[in-house]
Structure 1
Amino acid sequence: MALRRKLFAEQRVARGYSQEEFAEVLAVAASTVVRWECGRATPQPHQRPRIAELLGITLPELGVLLSPEQSPETAPLPDTPSLPDGDDDDMKRREVLGLLAVTGVLIALPAPDGVARGRTAPALLETGEALHRSLWQVYALSDSKQSAFPAVRGQLDLMTKALAEARTAGEQTRLCRMTADLYQLAGELFFDANRYTDAAECYTLAAQAAHASGDHDLWACAMTRHAYVELYAHRAPSAQRLLTAAGRVAQRGDRTLSTRHWVAAVQAQAHAAVGDLNACERALDEAEKVHTLGGDDSRNGGWLRFDGSRLAEERGACYLQLGRPELAEEALTAALAQPLSLRRRAAVLSDLAVLGAYRRDISQVVHFAEQALGLADRSHSGFVGKKLDGLRGRLAPLLADARVSELDHRIAALPRTARREGHAYE
């Protein structure tokens, strides 16, 4: 079953319908629902409004679940990003932040005894963890990360309903853990769109939910993601405080997971931001110990993906920030030789272009920046745009060259999601 059709089926289950019940409401054969979910058939346009209503999602969100899947190399970009600029974008943000506020109350004040029992909580307790794992896979594999937003948005609504229905302490604990997982993913989507305040609010709620569930690794990961917000907002001291706390929490987590090593890797970036080479290298060496773990991290569901494969590019980026290009080159060259996602490759290419700018090597700047811009056009990623903005800040001494001047204009013309919010941090 294709991943998007799998999500279609899991959304049906989460809403409490069997295939037969779903088919009966839609006045179609159960075999038709089976064909939809296997990808062998697609609902007709006149059927889709009712299907979207039953699944609790919008028509555009349903369209994403029904759209054909292609490999990342050949898949076209969506015509309308899930977080576009304008009024529709603001409405979607308000919806998510409204759910966040309600969820915070439900975590702190569980439903009283005698609450009416619906179908959402039992369905999520049965299928939620698998669905969230699938959503993380969609996020990880998509060139345009915002394509995951519709399904995540629908799941946030279901999580709120499930928390309101929870009857026992055990159910509340499991649902809080799922909430911590899901709101970290929502935060990642906002972070990728350069909506740092929205991302920080999601990570804060995720940390609260993880604390309520007693899961120290989830808790530390939420705080580490929050620290990234501070780093990208150029507030390294605030990031260091968060990471110090995250490190303490991680020490109480599962020693077979890589949480504490990921915290160390991000601490290295914070040390680089304040110019502390020795502390940065100590943190990177601590992060390298992740390679001694072995084992299988698949049980964490996707919210913890640190396996050390990113350390070469992160080391190179740290050395660049510290003004040590001679140390950065070897790490960045090694990183580029690895299989990388679109966003990671764009980040390494941007850093190699920065390295060229340090050396006043215009050919190197143009070679790597051109490739990074091509990936930025494919991904619509705010993260990639931010990396190229960092390169642009290094181009001033080279602008007399026509090729560099053209690059500067192309970077400036990149679409900027949440441009206004980004300015508040710059």
Structure 2
Amino acid sequence: MGLAKRRRALGYSQERLALILGVDRTTVCRWESGRIAPQPPQRRGLASALEISLPELDALLSPPQCADRSNAGPPRPSTSPDAGDIDEMIRREFLRVLTVSGALAALPTEEAAALTEAAPRETAADFARMNRHLWQVYQMARFKGSVYPVIHDQLATMNEALGENRGSTRPLLSAAADLFQLAGEIAFDGNRNSDAIASYVLAASAGKDAGAYDLWACALVRHAYVEMSEHRYHQAAQLLGAAARLAGRGDSGLSTRHWVASVQAEAYAGLGDLEACERAMDRAEAVRGLSGSSAEGGWLRFDGARLAEERGACYVQLGRLDPAEQALRDALEQTALASGQSYRRRAAALTGLAAIGAKRRDAEQVVTYGREAVGLARASSSGYVARRLRALCDEFGPVSDHRVVELRAEIGSLGTP
């Protein structure tokens, strides 16, 4: 009996077993395929979940395939459960969009128009609407990686449109830039930073070719987030400086330049520059003065709702604990667990409050907020939340309180999607 067969015998789907163990479904898949082996702490939990001994577990770790057939029909190539394979398929589809669209864009205006003049004008608008829907699905999804197969299908549809000469080139490039930013977000949430950066670079390239300055700027902002997650604040600041210049050439009715400013505040906090951080945050606060809908709704969702959380995170990093605590408590009050995105927002605020407790050597505060954040990390399998919690461990230092020691162990057991 293989590992997958034992799981199914107990009535578990891959998603259910992953949730029990606090890992991503793709991790379970890779165990079942023999691509990776569970780590020692994971082996004990896996054996317990499967109701077998460790020696029995050893005998189950090399099955021939990993596809989960318990809740699915015939397999489809575009829904391969391996995240790396999906990333590669998406990248190939996107590069086809970029290559063909770029070729059309290079043609004289008359020739390009001749290739596309028979197309219904709503084609590009349909892609944009579908993209906005996918961003909504992503926002609400507890498991962000579940959106990947739909992204692949959407890119395949774009390629069909290009092959049939349907739709004008620039709108398709804009739609591809939009969609690849979403692919990058999912990769970043899964701690696949190289895939995320590749997605954002390609999105920026498509935004540039489409002449879509706001899209282009947002791709750079997302790239900067990856750099900051690796504490490369100077590199992030450079990207954000370029993004600010692009946003200045974009649509003044959108909140792009305000989002750039809010992320610049985080970069300046990482560099220890309080004055520059507060100036940037003040520029971000000006988003409240925009009339109408300042967010595009898909690739641009900055409306100021997260400013308290972001200001609190900046102050924590700068060591200004009292204003940080007030801002983060305000953020908690504003956060409702109505969508997958709220899990991330609430967990970020909780982790910040736990970090304040660590800096004050207040074990009670550390444990109270830290444990709730761990619960959200397990419920969502979010690499973003797990990453924030691992950074929290750096604040602990040498501790003797057994509750903090246990919390550190819980954080260490979180899976890396």
Partner in structure 1 of residue 215 of structure 2:
218
Query: What whole-Å deviation, never above 9, does each CA across 1:347-370 have from its counterpart, x for those lacking one?
Result: 110110001001111111110011
Structure 1 residues 43-192: aligned runs within 5 Å: 81=25, 86=30, 88-110=82-104, 124-125=123-124, 127-166=126-165, 171-192=168-189
Structure 2 CA distance for partners of 1:83 and 1:222, relative to 1, 3 Å: farther
Partner in structure 2 of residue 233 of structure 1:
230
Partner in structure 1 of residue 412 of structure 2:
412
Structure 2 CA distance for partners of 1:82 and 1:215, relative to 1, 3 Å: farther
Structure 2 CA distance for partners of 1:108 and 1:387, relative to 1, 3 Å: same
Structure 2 distance, partners of 1:349, 1:301, is: 26
1:250 maps onto 2:247 in alignment: yes
- State whether residues 120 and 158 of structure 1, in contact with CA within 8 Å, keep that contact through their aligned partners in structure 2: no
Query: What whole-Å deviation, never above 9, does each CA across 1:77-130 have from its counterpart, x for those lacking one?
Result: 99973687636233222212222333332343228769999x999884352121
1:333 maps onto 2:329 in alignment: yes
Query: What whole-Å deviation, never above 9, does each CA across 1:125-183 have from its counterpart, x for those lacking one?
Result: 3521211111011011122222222211211222233334446xx70011111111111
Partner in structure 2 of residue 397 of structure 1:
398
Structure 2 distance, partners of 1:180, 1:89, is: 20
SS in 1 for 2:334: coil
Q: Where do 5+ consecutive residues of structure 2 fail to align? A: 1-18, 36-81, 337-341
Q: Where do 5+ consecutive residues of structure 1 fail to align? A: 1-74, 418-426
Structure 2 CA distance for partners of 1:110 and 1:294, relative to 1, 3 Å: same
Query: What whole-Å deviation, never above 9, does each CA across 1:179-225 have from its counterpart, x for those lacking one?
Result: 11111111111111111111111111111111222221111111111
Structure 2 CA distance for partners of 1:128 and 1:322, relative to 1, 3 Å: same
The answer to which of 196-205 and 367-376 deviates more is: 196-205
Structure 2 distance, partners of 1:354, 1:394, is: 7
Query: What whole-Å deviation, never above 9, does each CA across 1:301-339 have from its counterpart, x for those lacking one?
Result: 411100111111101101111122223111111111112
- State whether residues 220 and 243 of structure 2, in contact with CA within 8 Å, keep that contact through their aligned partners in structure 1: yes
Structure 1 distance, partners of 2:364, 2:23, is: 34
What's the RMSD between the two structures over aligned residues?
2.8
Partner in structure 2 of residue 367 of structure 1:
368
- Percent of aligned positions that are identical: 46
Which residue identity does 1:408 align to in structure 2?
Answer: R
- State whether residues 336 and 348 of structure 1, in contact with CA within 8 Å, keep that contact through their aligned partners in structure 2: yes
State the number of aligned residues: 338
Partner in structure 1 of residue 379 of structure 2:
378
Structure 1 distance, partners of 2:102, 2:128, is: 22
Structure 2 distance, partners of 1:151, 1:79, is: 22
- State whether residues 184 and 303 of structure 1, in contact with CA within 8 Å, keep that contact through their aligned partners in structure 2: yes
Aligned to 2:195, which of 195, 198, 206? 198
Larger relative contact order (C-alpha < 8 A, sep ≥ 6)?
Answer: 2
Structure 1 distance, partners of 2:136, 2:229, is: 25
- State whether residues 77 and 144 of structure 1, in contact with CA within 8 Å, keep that contact through their aligned partners in structure 2: no
- State whether residues 82 and 150 of structure 1, in contact with CA within 8 Å, keep that contact through their aligned partners in structure 2: no
Structure 1 residues 308-327: aligned runs within 5 Å: 308-327=304-323
Partner in structure 1 of residue 354 of structure 2:
353
- State whether residues 366 and 407 of structure 1, in contact with CA within 8 Å, keep that contact through their aligned partners in structure 2: yes
Structure 2 CA distance for partners of 1:191 and 1:76, relative to 1, 3 Å: same
Partner in structure 2 of residue 30 of structure 1:
none
SS in 2 for 1:368: helix
Superposition TM-score, scaled by structure 2 size: 0.75
